[in-house]
Homo-oligomer: A and B are copies of this chain.
Amino acid sequence: MKNKAITSRDVDFAKWYTDIVRCAKLAEYSNTKGCVILEPNGYAIWEKIQSVLDKMFKKTGHQNIYMPMLIPENLLKKEGELVEGFAPECAWVTVGGQNVLDERLAIRPTSETLFSDYYSLKVKSYRDLPKLYNQWCSVLRWEKETRPFLRTREFLWQEGHTVHATSEEAEAETLRMLNVYKEFFEKYLAIPVILGKKTEKEKFAGAEYTYTVEALMYNGVSLQSATSHYFGQKFAKAYGIKFLNKDNEWEYAYQTSWGCSTRMIGGLIMVHSDDNGLVLPPNIAPKQVVIVPIGEDENVKQLANKYLGLLTDANICAFIDDSNRSPGFKFAEHEVNGIPVRIEIGVRDLEKGEVTLARRDTREKTNVKADCDIVKTVKNLMQDIQDNLYDRALKRRNLLTYRTDDLKEVENIIKTKPGFIYAHWCGDEACELKMKEIGGIKSRCITDEQVHDGDKCVVCHKPAKYMVVWGTQY
């Protein structure tokens, strides 16, 4: 039985995606063009993501701060590459109160400029370093085509900005945060990811280099899911972040930044969900268990309440749905919303001393003893679901991962069944641009796979320098 309000994923993936967003009540279009409203179900996922990541950031020594949302134009323009990259996408405030402003202000598209300006005031000695700050906020980029979670003009994110006394320390931070993201994607979002460096063409404007976290969606399209940048001294030189080092000499500081956004919710949808609605890994689901009492029986009610108490005490987020609607209606709704586990308590089952457990990932139902250790049972089931979702995603990714240095084959893959394509590259931007002509393929990242003598660039057949993962992208 299939949810009729949802287009089939294999028939029209784009329509399926927007159907999920709508039917699971994650987000709604707004009358502010290009911006969406994050509804309770969608925002709750973001809250859960925030709470997990924030703990991981604090555990690695980071503190939160808050910078202004507006950036004076002259401040934005101090670092040339950054402004080239972002100025065309900025929204500009030109009127404040009743007056036209002398200098226009950009709504922050990202906050390197503000952090660097602040650090230039605060960093005077190696004793002031490192500063490991992060900010949770919204940013704005004037995108033309938008899609909920994947690309909207305004979106919520976190941006870490750190400053260090040595390049070694800053580079280590860049890698450390990349690995924090990896752990988060794998352990919580149940999304397998590949890590690597972006090419010069694809790196962040103003960075020395950019690490990226790349995930593959069900339809074989890639999603850049988080990034971690090493800036070297570029911003320090542009904004004057100088400190007295241990040798009592003035030196420019070394910086990093790293971020991820509500885009991850789009990734969650496109990796795990199905034709019956949202599927959420238990470790990131705001509501993990729904208990549905069937009928007006007193024993049924009592057991539902007992389960709720036990599960809540074990820090499992459970709730009872005793609303006045049919069981079938409730089951469908909780399925659409992606609640990982459903406990159905019916009179007849209970007479046999049993209750039913339904898992959202496979939609399988099993009967268990009503007097079982419900906390242990549910915990095991949730772990099973978490593992299964990861394995399923990994299998799908493996199915859609190719290795070829034959351009014809690349073309064929992209036309028929796109995915991650491992292919050698000589390092020339011209070849990267050539690849783009094939269905918009871009380099996802440079892997650290060793290149052997005789390996040739997939485009020009000159000796290869790198093994690159290629793919189409959101």
Using CB atoms and an 8 Å cutoff, list the residues of chain A in contact with chain B. Answer: 28, 30-33, 35-40, 43-44, 46-47, 63-72, 75, 88-98, 104-105, 107, 114, 117-118, 121-122, 133, 137-138, 140, 142, 144, 154, 156
Contacts and interface: CB of A to CB of B under 8 A. Distances in A.
27 contacts: A28-B121, A30-B117, A31-B72, A31-B75, A32-B72, A32-B105, A32-B114, A33-B72, A35-B68, A36-B68, A37-B66, A37-B67, A37-B68, A37-B114, A37-B118, A40-B63, A40-B64, A40-B65, A46-B66, A69-B69, A69-B138, A89-B97, A91-B96, A91-B97, A92-B94, A92-B96, A93-B94
Contacts of A39: 65
B31 A140 contact: no
A138 to B, nearest CB: 6
Contact of A30 (B43, B68, B88, B107): B68
Given A32-B72, A88-B98, 13 more contacts: A30-B67, A32-B68, A35-B69, A35-B70, A37-B114, A40-B63, A40-B64, A40-B65, A43-B63, A47-B64, A70-B140, A92-B93, A93-B93
A95 B104 contact: yes
B117 A31 contact: yes
Nearest to A103: B33
Contacts of A30: 67-68, 114, 117-118
Contact of A69 (B64, B65, B97, B154): B154
Contacts of A107: 69, 93, 107
Contact of A38 (B43, B66, B117, B154): B66
Contacts of A38: 65-66
User: What copy number does this chain have within its complex?
Assistant: 2
B43 A97 contact: no
B97 A94 contact: no
Nearest to A122: B28
B71 A43 contact: no
Nearest to A117: B31
Contacts of A154: 68-70
A346 B40 CA distance: 52
A469 B138 CA distance: 40
A156 B67 CA distance: 11
Contacts of A88: 97-98
B91 A32 contact: no
A96 B121 CA distance: 31
Given A142-B97, A154-B70, A64 B91 contact: no
A248 B47 CA distance: 38
A468 B44 CA distance: 42
B66 A156 contact: yes
Ranked nearest first, the 3 interchain pairs of A and B with the lowest CB-CB distance are A97-B142, A35-B68, A40-B63
A91 B89 contact: no
A191 to B, nearest CB: 23
B37 A65 contact: yes
A131 to B, nearest CB: 9
Given A40-B65, A64-B40, A97 B90 contact: yes
A96 B142 contact: yes
Given A63-B40, A92-B93, A69 B156 contact: no
B95 A92 contact: yes
A40 B118 contact: no
A92 B69 CA distance: 13
A60 to B, nearest CB: 15
Contacts of A66: 37-38, 43, 46, 138, 156
A385 B35 CA distance: 47
A97 B138 CA distance: 17
